Amino acid sequence: MDGSIEVAGAQFIADTLRSNWGLPVITVARDYMPDDLDGGFLWRDSSGEAQGLVTWAIHGEYAEIVTIDAFIQGVHIGGRLLDAAEAELARRGVHRLSTTTTNDNLRALAFYVRRGYRLMRLDLDGVDRVRAAKPGVPATGNDDIAIRDMWELEKQL
């Protein structure tokens, strides 16, 4: 898919997080509100429509990919966004990057592992903490797998 990456505006980030993730966005490491993020990139297709977003928070030489969304699956938007985010974060002096996914999201696990991320921490029953803040999180997810645990993956940049 032809398109381009650009810096995401604060309002676009806030609106997307609110609609796609619910607030706060909860990772293994911490909880995030839009104002806690240090940046993001969006992918626009050749017609100018936003088709993806990646956001991050920087904590010194460590950063966390807080969200990544490809609004259309299977056309490498997520990979392009992640590559751009990694390059930008390395330029900013980040040496270690992490992200969180849930145990039902095997597609995300494969996506990150193919890109050099390694499983660093398993937060058993971590989704209970998410459900405490967001009671609407379903009991089962992809492929009817019970959503229970959060996985933190990490990559050295």
Assign residue 43 the CATH number of its domain. 3.40.630.30
- Collapse the DSSP code of 138 into the 3-class scheme (helix H, G, I; strand E, B; otherwise coil) and give the result: coil
44 falls in which pLDDT band (50, 70, 90)? very high
Confidence (pLDDT) at 1: 72
Average pLDDT in the 44-70 region?
A: 96
Residue in the block written with tokens 């990559």: 155
Q: Is 85 exposed, middle or buried (0-12, 13-18, 19+ CB in 10 A)?
A: buried
Q: Which residues, including other chains, have CB under 8 Å from residue 154's CB and lie 6 or more apart?
A: 96, 97, 98, 99, 117, 118, 120
Range of the domain at 145: 3-156
Task: Indicate if the pLDDT at residue 66 is higher than 90.
Answer: yes
**Domains in the chain: how many in total?**
1
Confidence (pLDDT) at 2: 86
- pTM for the model: 0.94
**pLDDT tens digits for range 11-20:** 999 999 999 9
